[in-house]
Structure formats: C-alpha cells, structure tokens
Amino acid sequence: MEATIYNQMGKETGKVKLPEAVFGLSWNASAERLVHQVSVSMMGNARTPIAHTKTRGEVAGSGIKPWRQKGTGRARHGSRRSPIWVGGGVTHGPRNDKNYSTKINKKMKTKALFAVLSHKFKDGEVVFLDSLSFKAPKTKEAKNVITSLSKIKEVSSIGRRKNAAFIALETKNKNVLKSFSNFGNLETGLVKDLNVLDLLRYRYLVITDPEKSLVTLSARLK
C-alpha cells in the first residue's frame, strides 16, 4: 500500500509505503460501533457540566405547612418548596455534579483511530506533505498552501469553507500554527496527539513529514 507525497506547491515529490495496520483496516458495522463508542466517550470525558438546578431541599423558603390539611377546601400541601409551586425546587433538572465520563481502553482508542484513518484514506481524504514550514507567521502563505493543495484532484475542494481540514504536524512549528490560526475551517495539531474526534470533525487530513509521522502512528500499536 503506497501513497503519493506532495510538497507545499501541490506537486508530487515521491511515494511512501503505508502500514496495513494503520491505513488498511476495513470499515464495517463493528468498526462503526467502535468509533461511535470511543467518540461518545471522549466527548463525555471532555464535558464540563454548567447548568445546575436546585432541588426542593436546596431552594430558599420556609418548610412550614402552607395551611392546615383539612377544612379549607383547597388542595393539601406540605411545603412551599414543593416542585409544583412557583419558586420551588426542580425535579430531575440538570446538575453540575453529574459525571459524564466513561472509561475507554487505549487499544480501543487506537483501533478506532486507525479505522477512521483507513476509511479516510480509501475515500481519498488524506494528503501527505513532505514538509510544511514558513519563515514567519503569515496567513497569506498559509492560504497559498491550501490553494496549491486544491490542485490535487482527490482533495480539490479542500479550500472551500465547508470542507474543513486538520493539519497534523510531526513536530511543533509556531510559525505554521500561527499562520493557520485565522482560518475557521482549519485546525492544526501534532500527529502524536491525533484522535478520533479530530478526524471526525474535519473532512480532510493533511499529514506532514510522512516518514516520521507513520513511525509515530505505528508506535501506538505497542
């Protein structure tokens, strides 16, 4: 299994051999369930509950019985803090102390990541760049790179607003990070931190320095 390597100008510079365990997995019902389970787990682990309601035991108000039980002709009530009273507590409302986190094994995360990588590669949504660097942080230079990549037939729509892309760098480069920071549909990160959510949120994936990047991805199998 091989893939074409391009430069920043969108021209072919060579080939790279891809590991079957990373880019050769089949996409089936089992893979779909695994990716869904991992993505839901990761979103739950990153969730910070903010909305919070008080129960009848937490709202302010007197606990005295509003009126006597019988003889008034009105419905019986035991407290003004009852959920059916205005200003009373809330039943089954959102709570900020609720824990949405779930545990997912590392092997499951890795296999889900490789399943999505394989699916994207088969759909022609993965681009390999030999390198990506700028002498200084320039949004214009970053735009020129995206325009050049759009000349590649498989990713010709990468420059459009709704066709977002994630750029995975092998090593951290401040100039590159700052150059792409003004694009709302582009995100940059490191290959070693690549996860399922990064791939699902963006249509295209751009991997720089493929020789080293593939070693980093394959190392997750260990």
Q: What average pLDDT is seen over the chain?
A: 91
Q: Tell me the whole-structure pTM to 2 decimals.
A: 0.82
DSSP code for 18:
P
Residue span(s) of the chain under CATH 3.40.1370.10 come to: 2-47+102-221
pLDDT digit string (tens) for 157-192?
786 777 789 999 999 999 999 999 988 888 999 999
Buried b (16+ CB within 10 A) or exposed e, 122-157: eeebbbbbbebebeebeeebbbebbebbbebeebee
Query: Helix or strand or coil: residue 100?
Result: coil
pLDDT at 221: 84
Nearest alpha-carbon partner for 181 in 138, 123, 121: 138
Higher pLDDT, 151 or 70: 70
14 in Cβ contact with 5 (< 8 Å): yes
User: What band does 10 get if pLDDT is binned at 50, 70 and 90?
Assistant: confident
90-141: pLDDT as tens digits = 999 999 999 999 999 999 999 999 999 999 999 999 999 999 989 899 999 9
Q: Are 2 and 17 in contact (CB under 8 A)?
A: yes
- Domain 2-47+102-221 is classified in which CATH homologous superfamily? Ribosomal protein L4/L1 (3.40.1370.10)
Instruction: Tell me the percentage of the chain whose pLDDT exceeds 70.
Output: 99
Sequence length of the chain is 222
What band does 62 get if pLDDT is binned at 50, 70 and 90? confident
